A and B are shown apart, each in its own frame.
Chain A
Amino acid sequence: MLEALSEKLKNAIRKLLGKSVVDEKAVEELLKELKIILIEADVDLGIVNNFIESVRKKLFKEKIPAGFTLRDYSIKIVYEELVKILGEKAYEINGKKIMLIGLFGSGKTTTAAKLANYLRKFGKVALVCLDYHRPAAPEQLKQLAEKINVKYLIGSDAYSVAKESLEKFKNFDFIVYDTAGRDALDENLASELKSLAEIIKPDEKLLVIPAEIGKVAKSQSEEFNKLVGITGIIVTKMDSSAKAGSAISACVATGAKVKFVCYGEKIDAIEKYDPKRFVSRILGLGDLETLIEKAKEVVKPEKTEKLIEGDFTLEDFIEQIESFQKIGPFDKIFSMIPGLSLPKDIIKKQEDTMKKWKYIIQSMTPKERKEPEIIDESRIKRIAKGSGTSEEEVRNLISQYFKVKKMMKSFGGMKGLSRGNLQNLLKQFGFRV
């Protein structure tokens, strides 16, 4: 999610961090780069210019607070200004009648089902189809509704279905309306949408906007807003698109905030939007909060100490692997760590190797894990068979283990690295560790 964008932002910020002296010129360079990056991420040009201007003003016209270097402060400001655009907190669904609106192919019907499934936790939900233009749209809604087991209403014409739904689902807690995809500038479709909104009087009018859409996001959002008044935004296809600048444009154009993010094809691939995390990731600061929370849960301090001392057994090794896997897939973990980026295929390969190591270690006896020195050829044969790997792979793991152990001992453990560069890095980004 957003790799390509954050990759570039990361580079821009890294460049700034790498400079020995951060002066006005260096900041100007950063701002210039930021501009190109944001435009490339499909954010509207006017919005980008305003953004850059407000950052510049803050940095050069205001006094930098005591205790901040220009370097720290500029990163803090960039972060804060982006949060300002996207909203400062996660927003709730307000009210009962929720209408989804958007362009063709933005993912409204799938999103309607996802949203209904999500809302089921909070009350009785019904799905209503108001799309009688696209062939089989009602059928799609019906199949999805049956799959998640919620009541639904389909008919043959949008107006009568809209009216019927108000009576039929009177006692429900939520009614989710799926409308036809439309070009907001198409007069017929626009007036249909307007009339439907007048009949239903929805409490929420959510604009569904796909993450990969280009600069047209702004004008379409503006039009939809004029037609019915947008109250919130759902960003779809976040799993696949590298950029979601369209969401920023839509927020500015409608004044509404993002409420949900959809990141996959499955029915539960929807989550409440968290602007702070979103910005962290765009900025290449990574999803630090999540990482810290999760890392706290799984990494026991004494184990880390052992690792740092260079005194660890294969048993500790497997525990480390397991706790790493609990945090999430490798590429996600790495994307969460700022300033660290590895090619995807290398990460994937490393992940596969780690999995194999886990199987190999699991096929060892407790004694072998504690004293790997005793593992001889016949033991290797047995371990390879038991773990479904080759003898070569078992040998590799063992030699890798001894190498690491030896290296750590000769360096006096990882102590030389003074408690981890990560923490220093985090501090630089203004996070309390």
Chain B
Amino acid sequence: MFDFLKKKLKNFVEKISKKVEDKDVESKKVEEKVEKENVKRKKLIEKLVPKKILTEDDVKPFLEDLQIDLIEADVAYEVSEKIKKDLLGSLVSMEIKKGEEKKLIKDFIRKSLFDILNLPKVDLVKEIQNKKPYLIVFFGFNGSGKTTTIAKVAKYLKDKGFKCVLAAADTFRAASIEQLEIHAKKIGVDLVKQKYGADPAAVIFDAKKHAEAKRIDVVLADTSGRSYSNENLMEELKKIVRVNKPDLKVLVVDSLTGNDAVNQAKYFGEIGVDAVVFTKLDVNEKGGAILTVSYILKKPILFVCNGQGYNDIKEFDAKEFIDNLLEE
């Protein structure tokens, strides 16, 4: 996972460190020469000694390479610009202290990435304890993995001791209801459904009523995959939110998404996203979409999913993610 980005970031650190070293050697040479000159001339020559700091010209070419690498890793252009700008700002006039440069450069990268990923977390367990039934609506682009994600989250919550009900509010895609039904049976949670073509907002409403009657803690609602450019479907989603007032609106994003992640984040963001789940991390060695969506949406990542099994779901930890990217 993320080996590509990891490699590229490491590469960048190496290159800048090399530059620092070169400069160090260069200035030492001149210093030695200066030592030999008499004091009078020494004063003059001191001005010519290269300063032991990095200049814009020193780092720019490497930053441009890094930007291409980031874009190659599916980080959207505008996000790569931000990282580039951050690093330029911190690297230029960085004082050269031999032996510490790698750590310093890494700290700069860490800071820039942390800026993007450090978002106020959602404490799901605590929120559910405070309000029951707690309604979570999942939505996103076609094929991003909503139904599978819901099954995983339901399993996760059930393991934490919560009672869950699934709402089959994807009433459009063929066999979506059956798919969710099979999951519900396997995990051992309730399911509320209607017919295909039914109003999804009504299905969720039913599930809420069911949860209230049966003292169930959490309602997890599946919705049909939709394209943000389809106005009618976006209106439908707005209606679902308006009618049912979910406690948590979760956007499910395929981590394999390229630059379209920008659009998905922007347009679904207009509906109001509270948290994001990234899927299919097991297939992905690049994963720039995580940075893109976080940067644009500024909403926390609730979970990351990395496999086909019910337990292939993990809470996301920004620090751990970045440390992993930068580790040797």
Contacts and interface: CB of A to CB of B under 8 A. Distances in A.
A42 interface: yes
Nearest to B229: A240
A136 B179 contact: yes
B250 interface: no
B143 A210 contact: yes
Given A39-B72, A140-B173, A239-B230, A216 B260 contact: no
B263 A237 contact: no
A216 B283 contact: yes
Interface stretch (B37-45, B73-81, B100-108, B200-208): B73-81
Contacts of B228: 240
Given A42-B74, A139-B178, A215-B286, A107 B142 contact: yes
Contact of B258 (A106, A110, A136, A246): A246
Contacts of B254: 105, 212-213
Contacts of A64: none
A211 B183 CA distance: 29
Interface string B34-56: 00000000000000000000000
Interface in B138-174: 141-145, 172-174
Interface in A110-163: 110, 113, 133-137, 139-144, 147
B280 A214 contact: no
A265 B172 contact: yes
Contacts of A239: 227, 229-230
B183 A212 contact: no
B175 A212 contact: no
Contacts of A212: 141, 254, 257-258, 260, 264
A136 B257 contact: no
A53 B125 CA distance: 55
Given A4-B263, A133-B308, A240-B227, A215 B72 contact: yes
Contact of A216 (B180, B182, B284): B284
A113 B173 CA distance: 12
Given A40-B71, A40-B77, A214-B74, A147 B174 contact: yes
Contacts of A243: 258-260
A245 interface: yes
A13 B183 CA distance: 51
Contact of B182 (A104, A136, A142): A136
Nearest to A245: B258
A contact residues, range = 35 or more
A213 B257 contact: yes
Interface string B234-274: 00000000000000000000101111110110000000000
A222 to B, nearest CB: 13
B312 interface: no
A106 B142 CA distance: 8
A142 B178 CA distance: 12
A234 to B, nearest CB: 14
A36 B81 CA distance: 12
A176 interface: no
A105 B263 contact: no
B289 interface: yes
Contacts of A143: 174-175
A151 to B, nearest CB: 17
Contacts of B283: 103-104, 183, 185, 216, 220
A279 B58 CA distance: 40
Nearest to A263: B227
A83 interface: no
A12 to B, nearest CB: 14
Interface in A205-231: 210-217, 219-220
A107 B260 CA distance: 17
A60 B286 CA distance: 36
A110 B228 CA distance: 19
B256 A216 contact: yes
B75 to A, nearest CB: 10
Q: Which 8 A-B pairs have the closest CB atoms?
A: A240-B227, A105-B143, A214-B258, A140-B175, A42-B258, A136-B179, A212-B260, A214-B74
Interface of A: 4, 36, 39-42, 45, 103-107, 109-110, 113, 133-137, 139-144, 147, 183, 185, 210-217, 219-220, 237, 239-243, 245-246, 265
Given A183-B283, A237-B143, 13 more contacts: A39-B72, A105-B145, A139-B175, A139-B178, A139-B179, A140-B173, A144-B174, A212-B264, A214-B258, A214-B289, A216-B286, A237-B141, A237-B142
Interface of B: 68, 71-74, 76-77, 141-145, 172-176, 178-183, 186, 227-230, 254, 256-261, 263-264, 280, 282-286, 288-289, 308
6 contacts: A39-B68, A142-B175, A212-B141, A214-B259, A241-B260, A243-B258
